[in-house]
Every structure is written in structure tokens, then in C-alpha cells.
């Protein structure tokens, strides 16, 4: 009999504890570890958000301590993916007409949107990137005779000096590809694509333009006639706005 009373008492005690644990005040719920999971609010990154949890005074949203910012700042010391600050045009043309229109427009671009005073440094980096990324097909001399072409794997790679190209059109092809050449937007960021374009144009195309524009020497010229026999000066490297 005594054991039965103890069992009944224990059952009632456990029931009371369970009922109390499921209850509690509804106007002041306990703190939760991840309030975003219980009270989700959609917002745009970095916008100044309204306190989404004002109805739950004992919960502190993550952005409250950052003056309302909903996104975290970049980690100190991290490497920027676009340190040149150039607006990238990663959206590929949707069809052939859009591609051709963009290519024609790119030929009118005669300069890169980089700082002109850094031209020599940009050219130096452009050469390194070209030698590592492009010369396998185009050749280190821009003659279309890279090792892949010489192996017979590809053919028809053009000689830069023979092509109607500008700094803009070179960058456009690097970004969007052309014929058998694919896009290099995934391998080179937008600033470096402009650097390669600067290097290719000034190294392989500009000298051919200067040579074709040089006047022919007079037939009666003599070795002492320095004015008529001097070789035409190569075209100055360009990146003027």
C-alpha cells in the first residue's frame, strides 16, 4: 500500500513538472540562440534595416550592434577582386547580333580605362599575363605560332599585325571570346584584361601602323641625308583618354 502511494505521488509530481515546463508567460518568451530562424525577415544586403525584432524586447538582432547594417564589412587584409575600380561587363551577349554589335562598338575604343601615368607598369604586367595565358596559341611574338598551334592542335590563329584591332576590340574578345577562342573573363579580372589589351596593341599592332604610315624615302637620297634616310620613329605607346 505504501509503495502504491509513493508511485502515485511520483506520477503526479512528474505530471506537474511537465505541465509547468510547457507553459509560461506568452508575452515574454525566453531567449533563443538563432532569432533569425524563429523570426525570419528578408532584407537586401548592406541596407539600413528596421529593427525587425522590436516586438521581442529580449532578443538582439545581429545588425543592431552595427548601426543598422545588415551585411558584414570586408575582412581586414582581404584581397579586392576589382582593385582598379573598373566597372566590369561580365554579361555575355545573348545572340550573334548583340555580339557583333558589341564587337563593332569596341573597335572605337582606343584607350583602356586605366591610369595613363601607370602605362609602363600596366604594360609590364600585361606582358607577363600574355606570356602565361595567351602565348601558347598566339606566340610570344604575336605571330599566331604558339606551341599549341605548332603541334597541329589548332590552326588559323591570326597575326596581330595583320588584324584590324584596337585596344577596345582586344579587350572585348578577351571578355567574350571569338571564333575558336573562348572567354578569358574567368581567368583574368577586368583590369588585367585591359592590361593584356594594352600590351598586345602597343607591342604587336602599333608598330605595324607606324611602319605603314611612314613616307617612302626619295630615290635621290644619299647616305648623308639624315632627314630622308632616318627610320620612322615607332608610334608612341597609347593609353590616352
Q: Among 75, 35, 80, 65, which residue's Cα sits nearest to residue 53?
A: 35
Q: What residues have CB less than 8 Å from 107, skipping those under 6 apart?
A: 164, 165, 166, 168, 169
Q: Are residues 101 and 62 in the same domain?
A: no
Which domain covers residue 107, as residue numbers?
96-214
3-class SS of residue 57: coil
Q: Are residues 107 and 196 in the same domain?
A: yes
Q: Are residues 41 and 105 in the same domain?
A: no
Q: What is the mean pLDDT of residues 115-136?
A: 94
How far is it between the farthest Cα atoms of the chain? Answer: 139
Specify if 28 maps to a domain. Answer: no
Specify if 12 maps to a domain. Answer: no
Q: Among 211, 141, 137, 212, which residue's Cα sits nearest to residue 177?
A: 137
pLDDT interval class at 233 (50, 70, 90): very low
Cα separation, 19 vs 17, whole angstroms:
6
Specify if 11 maps to a domain. Answer: no
Q: Which single residue is written with the C-alpha cell 596581330?
A: 160
Q: Are residues 121 and 210 in the same domain?
A: yes
Q: Are residues 59 and 141 in the same domain?
A: no
CATH number at residue 210: 1.10.760.10
Q: Which of 1-15, 25-39, 146-160 has the lowest mean pLDDT?
A: 25-39
Specify if 2 maps to a domain. Answer: no
pLDDT tens string 199-228? 999 999 988 787 777 665 555 544 444 443
- Phi-psi map region of 67: left, alpha, beta (phi>0 left; psi -120 to 50 alpha): left
pLDDT tens string 161-202? 999 999 999 999 999 999 889 899 888 988 999 999 999 999
How many domains in the chain?
Answer: 2
Q: Are residues 60 and 108 in the same domain?
A: no
pLDDT interval class at 155 (50, 70, 90): confident
Q: Are residues 107 and 206 in the same domain?
A: yes
Q: What is the mean pLDDT of residues 41-58?
A: 51
Q: Are residues 168 and 123 in the same domain?
A: yes
Q: Are residues 123 and 204 in the same domain?
A: yes
Task: Report CA-CA distances (Å) from 12 to 21, 61, 129.
Answer: 14, 41, 80
Q: What is the mean pLDDT of residues 2-11?
A: 74
pLDDT interval class at 120 (50, 70, 90): very high
Specify if 230 maps to a domain. Answer: no
pTM over the 0.85 mark: no
Amino acid at each position: 500500500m505504501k509503495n502504491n502511494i509513493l508511485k502515485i505521488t511520483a506520477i503526479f509530481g512528474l505530471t506537474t513538472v511537465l505541465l509547468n515546463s510547457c507553459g509560461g508567460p506568452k508575452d515574454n518568451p525566453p531567449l533563443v540562440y538563432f532569432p533569425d530562424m524563429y523570426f525570419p525577415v528578408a532584407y537586401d544586403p548592406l541596407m539600413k534595416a528596421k529593427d525587425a525584432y522590436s516586438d521581442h524586447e529580449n532578443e538582439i538582432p545581429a545588425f543592431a550592434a552595427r548601426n543598422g547594417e545588415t551585411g558584414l564589412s570586408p575582412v581586414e587584409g582581404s584581397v579586392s577582386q576589382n582593385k582598379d575600380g573598373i566597372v566590369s561587363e561580365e554579361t555575355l551577349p545573348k545572340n550573334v547580333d548583340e555580339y557583333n554589335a558589341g564587337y563593332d562598338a569596341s573597335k572605337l575604343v582606343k584607350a583602356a580605362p586605366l591610369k595613363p601615368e601607370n602605362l609602363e607598369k600596366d604594360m609590364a604586367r600585361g606582358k607577363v599575363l600574355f606570356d602565361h595565358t595567351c602565348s601558347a596559341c598566339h606566340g610570344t611574338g604575336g605571330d599566331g605560332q604558339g606551341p599549341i598551334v605548332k603541334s597541329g592542335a589548332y590552326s588559323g590563329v591570326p597575326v596581330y599585325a595583320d588584324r584590324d584591332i584596337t585596344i577596345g576590340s582586344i579587350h572585348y574578345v578577351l571578355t567574350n571570346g571569338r571564333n575558336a577562342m573562348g572567354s578569358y573573363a574567368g581567368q583574368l579580372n577586368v583590369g588585367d584584361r585591359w592590361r593584356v589589351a594594352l600590351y598586345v596593341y602597343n607591342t604587336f599592332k602599333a608598330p605595324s601602323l607606324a611602319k605603314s604610315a611612314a613616307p617612302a624615302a626619295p630615290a635621290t637620297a644619299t647616305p648623308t641625308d639624315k632627314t630622308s634616310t632616318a627610320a620612322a620613329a615607332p608610334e608612341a605607346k597609347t593609353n590616352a583618354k
